[in-house]
Amino acid sequence: MARVFDGEFAITIRFGERYRFSFDSPFAWLNGRRHDGVDWAMPVSTPLLPPVPCRVTDVRRYQTGHGLHQRLESLDKQWRFLYAHLSEIRATVGREVSPDTVSALSGGARGMFGAGSSKGPHLHFEMFKRVAGGYAAVDFQQLKKAIVAFAA
Ligand SMILES: [Zn+2]
């Protein structure tokens, strides 16, 4: 089953929405950028899972922006995923992770390690589908069924 965590959490900002108030950045409302992912409000240290079998391709920590973040690529290279504002990395670069592997723990509480510009506990998640010439951001909510079929 395609999921990025167990349980149900409220979406605080959707794919494609203009930033208004957002946990992502106290200044987000100033720039009016489009949101390329989805934010779920969730407690710090919520276990995060890969939607499909993946390899960890990148782990970085910025003081601002995404803070501590992890990038995954599906083993068939059709999908890429980004998890941001993390409090802990459980799978380092190069590791293969299954949908049952906890790859990282969420974070995002203002000022905590890994939060970057986040000002409240949440997960910022982006996903990208392989297209001609690169990868395009897609809406996890809209494509969830497709991924379920893909993962089956
Ligand atoms: Zn976000």
Per-residue model confidence as pLDDT tens digits over 81-90: 999 999 999 9
Domain residue limits at 91: 11-151
Question: What is the pLDDT, as a whole number, of residue 36?
Answer: 80
CB atoms within 10 A of CB 148: 14
Tell me how far CA of residue 82 lies from CA of 29, 30, 60, in angstroms. 22, 24, 11
Cα 125 to averaged position of ligand 1 atoms, centre (Å): 7
- Structural domain includes residue 88: yes
Residue where the block lists tokens 């000002």: 119
- Structural domain includes residue 4: no
What are the DSSP E strand ranges found in the chain? 11-13, 38-41, 47-48, 54-61, 68-74, 79-84, 86-89, 96-97, 104-106, 122-131, 134-138
Cα 24 to averaged position of ligand 1 atoms, centre (Å): 5
Q: Mean pLDDT lowest for which of 20-24, 35-39, 57-61? A: 20-24
pLDDT band at 1 (very low <50, low <70, confident <90, very high): very low
Question: What is the pLDDT, as a whole number, of residue 25?
Answer: 60
Query: Which pTM does this prediction carry?
Result: 0.88
- Structural domain includes residue 71: yes
Residues 53-72, mean pLDDT to the nearest whole number = 96
Cα 85 to averaged position of ligand 1 atoms, centre (Å): 9
- Structural domain includes residue 5: no
Q: Which amino acid is at 13?
A: I
Cα 90 to averaged position of ligand 1 atoms, centre (Å): 21
Cα 126 to averaged position of ligand 1 atoms, centre (Å): 8
pLDDT band at 151 (very low <50, low <70, confident <90, very high): very low
Cα 101 to averaged position of ligand 1 atoms, centre (Å): 23
Enter the tokens of residue 128.
Answer: 């990208």
SS3 at position 135: strand
- Structural domain includes residue 1: no
Q: For the domain that residue 123 is a member of, what is the CATH number?
A: 2.70.70.10
Q: Say how many domains are in the chain.
A: 1
Mean pLDDT, the chain, rounded, equals 86
Give the residue with greater pLDDT, 73 vs 27.
73
Cα 84 to averaged position of ligand 1 atoms, centre (Å): 8
CB 57, CB 38: distance < 8 Å:
no
